């Protein structure tokens, strides 16, 4: 019998709906869901081939254990593996205390799974040492929204694309990374008067299609944004009434941008003065402006400042809280937004709460049914510090759920040392081997999104229901279920007695109930079966609120949005004669992160077949290098080997290397061997977009970093 199941694409944060045809527990066809408001039937190459990620030769179907890293893994029943873990965890708690364990979880899990692991760590075990790959992804945006608007998450919705006149796209390569939204933008830009401004050091496929491409020197966005505001003030393109009635601290920002003339910024950014004027004119004079940004803004030691710089433009012009206007951070992973709701990072609690707030801990302890002192007030270790603490031995056990840190964390040499040192490494994944799982002691088999029920929230705050298309293979189970079974073995049967994902969602809703901005009282699995819903959604009859701050009351204590002055600071890794290039890293259209999923899809492999480092022709010529030459990148941390691709689209002095090929391109093929862990002081998001390196022909002989 053939059935059609509606679910969600498990890749990017656009959150496209899928309509999946299933026969005899096999997927026979994947199409875009025509009724889903994120994509109206469209899909990109990754979404359209997602069925090919299920039955791969490296699928992890059973739990496996070994006692030493030199031993082979032995398959064991899942229950046996969890009992073994419960015993190990008890002995670590006895000998070293509860902060001797840590969890590293993912924006690719369902909200329910994220909720369970957060509750397990912070509520049951009593450690705040849980962090997520969102630290590398969205944490700068989270910090900036809270600082400026008083609450996390974008105030905008996808429909604003069809209403705006000006797109400012900064540090986001939407054509490759958010392709379905990009199609919508391109359609909109066919209209007269609609403009696209792209700020990116590279001439990406996104920049190719812009009306204005500002190819700034990497890391100089704040200077550009300040100069744009400078022009808008001097030309009278700001909105004094909005500033007076709905914001605070304007004078501080005005004072700061006064010093950022377009002439000064043009020098710092390496773009023309006239282009800065043009960008300011289009943003300031268009009836509406929508800003999109992603990792070119967030992954920086100035990540929060870049975000605030963008939000300042919207506040100064009053282009926020109305259709067609507003700041719109692009969420990377399919459910990084869910992770923000459940507060799975080391300083947070569910419902946009903080561990350091007494009232917040009390509220959550009550909902969780755990004694108040169990939730610790001190924030735990963020991702970078967590791996440092593993290396020093301060943390003895790490449980990784849905991440591949050896391929994706900065400074892989340090990450490897940390993972080799840790006494107990648990890797819960759908595949094995991965870079990280090769070093594990215990492997736990996770179901894929297409095999389970749960919810995910996309970039526009829209919650969609995942419905199982096929059953998981072997003993693979949804992540939440594995977490609950372990919690029960640790003595928390009652607090984790969830019989379904829907049960967990109901408890999650309780945590969000008193938070107006995040309220989802009106969302139920029953309603989601019919259509996805945006939060806030306070009642069962509410369709969900598409745009926030329509009444211009912000979520700050005063109700006013807050301006924050930001100044241009240099990136952390200094360019010197020994390390003369600024290496940036990022993505290609047809691969996903460390390729555990896309690496087995033949069509995607043909489209983006191999790793490379891209350089400008003039740089290659100066170094006597030709297209395709074997080269090495040398940084203060390590050495990575790859092939050179000469590209006109590069800026002179800048290099670009995708991070998709971890060690699948060879032991030293991972670009993160040369990246560094210096992070934004507020968001603790590492600066993956700016690394000082040397580029050389690879002679094969050993080199020292
Ligand atoms: N195909 C594909 N799509 C994906 C993903 C994937 O793996 N593959 N991953 C998803 C995830 S998790 C994420 S976070 C998003 C990321 O989506 P994006 O952020 O759009 O992708 P990136 O390639 O990481 O970086 C974007 C751009 O930042 C530019 N950049 C580098 N330094 C600077 C700078 O200093 N200033 C400015 N303005 N720009 C700079 C780079 O040249 C690059 O083009 O993509 C999501 N979508
Ligand atoms: N140099 C450089 N490094 C980067 C970035 C960059 O731009 N440059 N970007 C950073 C960003 S923005 C991100 S988001 C991170 C991503 O970093 P990671 O999340 O570490 O990368 P993935 O390869 O997606 O790893 C996810 C792992 O989870 C598994 N998995 C997938 N679905 C599930 C599931 O449902 N359950 C379980 N248990 N496992 C699952 C996959 O098989 C895979 O092994 O990379 C970061 N690293
Ligand atoms: S745009 Fe993103 S969510 Fe949509 S199909 Fe592509 S990867 Fe999936
Ligand atoms: Mo991300």
Ligand 4 ion: Cβ-proximal residues, 5 Å cutoff: 137, 332
**Beta-strand runs (E) in 590-663:** 613-615, 630-634, 639-646, 654-658
Angle 328-334-337 from CA coordinates, rounded to 5°: 55
What is the pLDDT, as a whole number, of residue 701?
55
Instruction: Quick: pLDDT tens for 596-614.
Output: 999 999 999 999 999 999 9
Domain boundary assignment for the chain: 2-53, 63-137+334-513, 139-329, 581-697
Q: How far is the CA of 604 from the centre of ligand 3 (A)?
A: 14
What is the pLDDT, as a whole number, of residue 487?
98
Q: How far is the CA of 31 from the centre of ligand 3 (A)?
A: 12
Let me know if 578 is exposed, middle or buried by CB neighbors in 10 A (0-12, 13-18, 19+): exposed
Instruction: Quick: pLDDT tens for 310-364.
Output: 999 999 999 999 999 999 999 999 999 999 999 999 999 999 999 999 999 999 9
Q: pLDDT class for 40, splitting at 50, 70, 90?
A: very high
What is the pLDDT, as a whole number, of residue 700?
57
Angle 679-113-495 from CA coordinates, rounded to 5°: 115
- The number of the ligand 1 atom at minimal distance from the alpha carbon of 174 is 20
Instruction: For residues 324 and 164, give the distance between their C-alpha atoms in angstroms, rounded to a whole number.
Output: 4
Instruction: Quick: pLDDT tens for 610-626.
Output: 999 999 999 999 999 99
Assigned CATH class of 63-137+334-513? alpha beta
- The domain 2-53 is placed in CATH, from the list 2.20.25.90, 3.10.310.10, 1.10.3720.10, 1.10.760.10, at 2.20.25.90
- The number of the ligand 3 atom at minimal distance from the alpha carbon of 48 is 5
| Nearest CA residue ID for atom 40, ligand 2 | 402
Q: Which of 8, 1, 79 is nearest to 450 (CA)?
A: 8
Probe target for ligand 2 pocket from 46, 384, 594, with the most ligand atoms within 8 Å of CB: 594
Instruction: State whether CATH 3.80.30.20 applies to domain 139-329.
Output: no
Mean pLDDT of all residues in 677-684: 98
Instruction: For residues 162 and 191, give the distance between their C-alpha atoms in angstroms, rounded to a whole number.
Output: 10
| Nearest CA residue ID for atom 24, ligand 1 | 586
Mean pLDDT of all residues in 31-42: 98
Q: How far is the CA of 132 from the centre of ligand 2 (A)?
A: 10
Would the CB of 218 count as within 6 Å of ligand 1? yes
Instruction: Quick: pLDDT tens for 401-423.
Output: 999 999 999 999 999 999 999 99
| Nearest CA residue ID for atom 26, ligand 1 | 172
- The number of the ligand 2 atom at minimal distance from the alpha carbon of 408 is 47
What is the pLDDT, as a whole number, of residue 447?
98
Probe target for ligand 2 pocket from 132, 336, 402, with the most ligand atoms within 8 Å of CB: 402
CA distances from 679 to 139, 252, 573, 638, 684 (A): 11, 25, 11, 18, 5
Q: Whose atoms come closest to the Cα of 113: which ligand?
A: 2
Angle 659-685-44 from CA coordinates, rounded to 5°: 45
- The number of the ligand 2 atom at minimal distance from the alpha carbon of 675 is 1
Instruction: Quick: pLDDT tens for 142-187.
Output: 999 999 999 999 999 999 999 999 999 999 999 999 999 999 999 9
| Nearest CA residue ID for atom 7, ligand 2 | 586
CA distances from 417 to 289, 390, 420, 461 (A): 47, 9, 5, 38
Q: pLDDT class for 565, splitting at 50, 70, 90?
A: very high
| Nearest CA residue ID for atom 3, ligand 1 | 177
Probe target for ligand 1 pocket from 140, 141, 173, 408, with the most ligand atoms within 8 Å of CB: 173
- The number of the ligand 3 atom at minimal distance from the alpha carbon of 178 is 1
| Nearest CA residue ID for atom 6, ligand 3 | 44
Q: Whose atoms come closest to the Cα of 333: which ligand?
A: 1
- The domain 581-697 is placed in CATH, from the list 2.40.40.20, 2.40.10.220, 3.80.10.10, 1.20.120.530, at 2.40.40.20
| Nearest CA residue ID for atom 8, ligand 3 | 47
Q: How far is the CA of 309 from the centre of ligand 1 (A)?
A: 19
Q: pTM for this one?
A: 0.98
Q: How far is the CA of 88 from the centre of ligand 2 (A)?
A: 27
Instruction: For residues 502 and 508, give the distance between their C-alpha atoms in angstroms, rounded to a whole number.
Output: 10
Q: Which of 322, 324, 315, 232 is nearest to 279 (CA)?
A: 232
Mean pLDDT of all residues in 371-387: 98
Please tell me the total number of residues recorded for the chain in this structure: 705
């Amino acid at each position: 019998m053939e059935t059609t199941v509606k679910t969600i694409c498990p890749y990017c944060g656009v959150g496209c709906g899928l309509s999946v045809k299933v026969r005899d527990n096999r997927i026979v066809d994947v199409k875009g869901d025509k009724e889903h408001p994120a994509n109206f039937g469209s899909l990109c190459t990754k979404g359209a081939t997602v069925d090919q990620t299920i039955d791969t030769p490296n699928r992890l179907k059973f739990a496996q254990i070994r006692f030493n890293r030199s031993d082979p893994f032995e398959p064991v029943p899942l229950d046996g593996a969890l009992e073994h873990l419960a015993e190990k965890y008890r002995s670590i708690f006895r000998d070293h205390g509860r902060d001797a364990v840590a969890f590293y979880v993912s924006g690719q899990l369902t909200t329910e799974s994220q909720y369970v692991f957060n509750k397990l760590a912070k509520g049951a075990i009593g450690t705040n040492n849980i962090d997520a790959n969102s630290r590398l992804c969205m944490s700068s945006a989270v910090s900036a929204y809270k600082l400026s608007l008083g609450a996390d998450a974008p105030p905008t919705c996808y429909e604003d694309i069809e209403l705006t006149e000006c797109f400012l796209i900064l540090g986001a390569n939407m054509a490759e990374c958010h392709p379905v939204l990009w199609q919508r933008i391109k359609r909109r830009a066919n209209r007269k008067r609609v403009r696209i401004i792209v700020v990116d050091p590279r001439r990406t496929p996104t920049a190719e299609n812009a009306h204005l491409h500002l190819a700034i020197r990497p890391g100089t966005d704040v200077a550009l944004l300040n100069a744009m505001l400078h022009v808008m003030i001097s030309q009278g393109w700001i909105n004094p009434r909005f500033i007076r009635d709905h914001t605070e601290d304007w004078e501080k920002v005005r004072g700061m941008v006064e010093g950022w003339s377009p002439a000064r910024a043009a020098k710092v950014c390496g773009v023309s003065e006239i282009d800065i004027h043009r960008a300011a004119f289009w943003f300031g004079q268009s009836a509406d402006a929508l800003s999109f940004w992603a990792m070119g803004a967030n992954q920086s030691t100035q990540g929060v400042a870049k975000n605030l710089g963008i939000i300042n433009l919207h506040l100064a012009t009053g282009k926020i809280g109305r259709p067609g206007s507003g700041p719109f951070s692009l969420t990377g992973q399919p459910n990084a937004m869910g992770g923000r709701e459940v507060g799975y990072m080391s300083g947070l609690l569910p419902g946009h709460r903080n561990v350091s707030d007494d009232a917040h801990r009390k509220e959550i302890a009550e909902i969780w049914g755990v004694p108040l002192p169990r939730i610790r007030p001190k924030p735990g270790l963020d991702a970078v510090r967590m791996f440092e603490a593993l290396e020093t031995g301060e943390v003895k056990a790490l449980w990784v759920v849905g991440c591949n840190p050896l391929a994706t964390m900065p400074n892989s040499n340090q990450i490897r040392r940390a993972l080799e040192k840790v006494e107990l490494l648990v890797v819960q994944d759908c595949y094995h081997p991965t870079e990280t799982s090769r070093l594990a002691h215990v492997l736990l088999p996770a179901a894929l999104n297409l095999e389970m029920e749960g919810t995910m929230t996309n970039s526009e705050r829209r919650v969609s229901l995942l419905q199982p298309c096929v059953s998981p293979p072997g003993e693979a189970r949804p992540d939440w279920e594995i977490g609950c079974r372990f919690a029960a073995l640790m003595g928390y049967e009652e607090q984790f007695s969830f019989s379904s994902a829907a049960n967990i969602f109901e408890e999650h809703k309780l945590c969000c109930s008193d938070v107006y901005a995040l309220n989802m009282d009106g969302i139920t699995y029953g309603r989601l079966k019919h259509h996805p819903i945006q939060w806030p959604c306070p009642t069962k009859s509410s369709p969900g609120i598409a745009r926030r701050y329509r009444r211009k009351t912000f979520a700050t204590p005063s109700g006013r949005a807050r301006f924050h002055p930001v100044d241009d600071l240099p990136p952390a890794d200094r360019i010197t004669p020994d390390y003369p290039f600024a290496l940036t890293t990022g993505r290609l259209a047809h691969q996903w992160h460390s390729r555990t999923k896309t690496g087995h899809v033949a069509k995607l492999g043909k489209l983006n077949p191999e790793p490379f480092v891209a350089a400008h022709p003039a740089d290659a010529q100066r170094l006597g290098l030709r297209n395709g030459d074997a080269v090495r990148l040398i940084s203060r941390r390590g050495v990575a080997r790859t092939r050179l691709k000469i590209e006109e689209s590069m800026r002179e002095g800048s290099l670009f290397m995708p991070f998709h090929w971890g060690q699948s391109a060879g032991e030293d093929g991972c670009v993160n061997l040369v990246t560094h862990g210096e992070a934004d002081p507020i968001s603790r998001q590492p600066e993956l977009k700016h690394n000082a390196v040397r580029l050389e022909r690879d002679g094969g002989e050993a080199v020292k970093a």
